[in-house]
Amino acid sequence: MKNKEYFYDSLYLEFDKKRLTSMCYFIHFMLSYNELFKKIGINEELSINEVIDNYLPLAYLLNFFINDSFNRKKILSKCFDVNNFKVPYLIGVAGSVAVGKSTTARLLQSLLSSFYKHKKVELITTDGFLHSNKVLLNRKIMNKKGFPQSYDMCKLIKFISQIKSGVRNLTIPIYSHLKYDIIPNKMQLVDQPDILILEGLNVLQNSIDYQECSYHRVFVSDFIDFSIYVDAEPQLLREWYISRFLKLRKSAFLDSNSYFHNYSKITEKESIEIAGFIWDEINGLNLKENILPTKKRANLIISKGKNHSIQNIHLKKFL
């Protein structure tokens, strides 16, 4: 406990729920309730009050860093007489499976879009850079999906380096959670966004975590302007994963095209046992070995408690 307290006290400023809420009393909230509800995933138990009290202040805090970056780019553009000096501000959102990082990323995209009406705010996930199931099966690592070795990191790093270099009309693969695989011949177009949110398990990992691909000895984390780690106690994450599994069993798994369709036919008790096993042998292990060690690299740590409620936020002092 002392080491943990020293880590936060020495490296991070802490914002509790009360301080977060007080930051945004004067902000004009520009999104409708309907728009916000569309951004909340089925695995989250978020209320509008939670969004306004916690995620709106977070977006407002990010606003300071983004504006500072935009201003610096304007100065550089004038100093070097460069036209169209457009490099996206890259926000990385990392964290465990089931922690709610996808919902966090979607909410930030909506809130930042409301702050920057005339700028393009886009969101992509690293899921599109997973190797196909065919490749994973051939390499006998299907049970390691989400682990470092399951990603085509050279392709991901190349994409990030291109987009930070201002390359236009880039395309990336699309991953289907229903099919549990890359969708063949279907791509997402990314064309010079002003702000790009990159969400995934691995966005804070670096070349130490990926020895097989040293693309000019750089990694995704080298290109990120601001990084966020969404955190929760492992036991809570396990409970949330099982809860999400049970919800999907009554919804997405019912689709005959779902990779997990057979799980819709088993009992709830069996579902809980299987979900617990998957967590313990795959997702929990990946968290311990590959994801949690990257937390200290984040500029900002969101700590969640029961019901996915944000308890506090730690902001790194030296940014």
Binding residues for ATP: 95-102
Dihedral sign computed on CA atoms, order 163, 114, 123, 172: negative
Residue 260 neighbours by CB under 8 Å, 6+ apart = 180, 248, 252, 253
- Nearest-angstrom CA–CA distance, 197 and 86: 16
SS (H, E, C) 190-238: ECCCCEEEEECCCCCCCCCCCCCCCHHHCCHHHCCCEEEEEECCHHHHH
| Sequence ranges of the binding site | 95-102
In this structure, what DSSP letter does residue 84 have?
T
- Nearest-angstrom CA–CA distance, 139 and 142: 8
The count of other CB atoms within 10 Å of the CB of residue 186 is: 12
- Nearest-angstrom CA–CA distance, 158 and 200: 17
Sheet bearing 226-231, strands edge to edge? 12-16, 310-316, 300-304, 226-231, 89-95, 195-199, 121-125
